Amino acid sequence: MTTPPSIPKASSILTLTKAHLLADHGEADAGVELLTDSLERHPRHPSLEYERATILEQAGRVHDSVEALQRLLVERADDPTLLNALGYTLADHNLELSRAESLIRRALVAMPDNPAVLDSLGWCASGRAIRRRLSQHWSARTTSVMTLRSRLTGRGYLGERRSQPSPQGVGRGVGA
């Protein structure tokens, strides 16, 4: 692993603080831009890269965030903070829940008492439970809606009945 180029600690803390303040006050895109500019001056700086990835998610750029975290994991495959961040991001957006749980569990091995990792695991489990309940709920609703539509159609409420005579003979006498 190569040593990242150093930037003055005060400068990096200030940049990270500004980026977080921007993101926390609805200006996440500006925070991402600030970190991107800083990364151009200090390429591959781990703190800047990590914070940029998390603020990308705040900016609504979830797929960019996931890609950035995955790139970081290529270089630091066993970093529990990265494992947890990617797992949580996936779980929070109901993406690849099995993978999310696996990543979080790997982080948990390295940091078994870390509240953030435990929270992520709970979030992942609740996401699975919610999806299961929603799937069951909508499956039952779809069946009910289809049954109701079939009954209403059959009674003529949603269109003509299949057994009704055609409208051509309605209102006319025989031979009229």
Distance CA 142, CA 151 (A): 14
pLDDT of 65-86, one tens digit each? 999 999 999 999 999 999 999 9
Distance CA 64, CA 87 (A): 15
Domains of the chain by residue range: 8-71, 78-154
Query: pLDDT class for 170, splitting at 50, 70, 90?
Result: very low
The shares of helix, strand and coil residues in the chain, as percent rounded to the nearest 5, are: 70, 0, 30
pLDDT of 8-19, one tens digit each? 577 888 999 999
pLDDT of 144-158, one tens digit each? 666 666 666 666 555
Identify whether the C-beta of residue 83 lies closer than 8 Å to the C-beta of residue 107.
Answer: yes
Identify whether the C-beta of residue 121 lies closer than 8 Å to the C-beta of residue 106.
Answer: no
Predicted TM-score of the model (pTM): 0.68
8-71 folds as 1.25.40
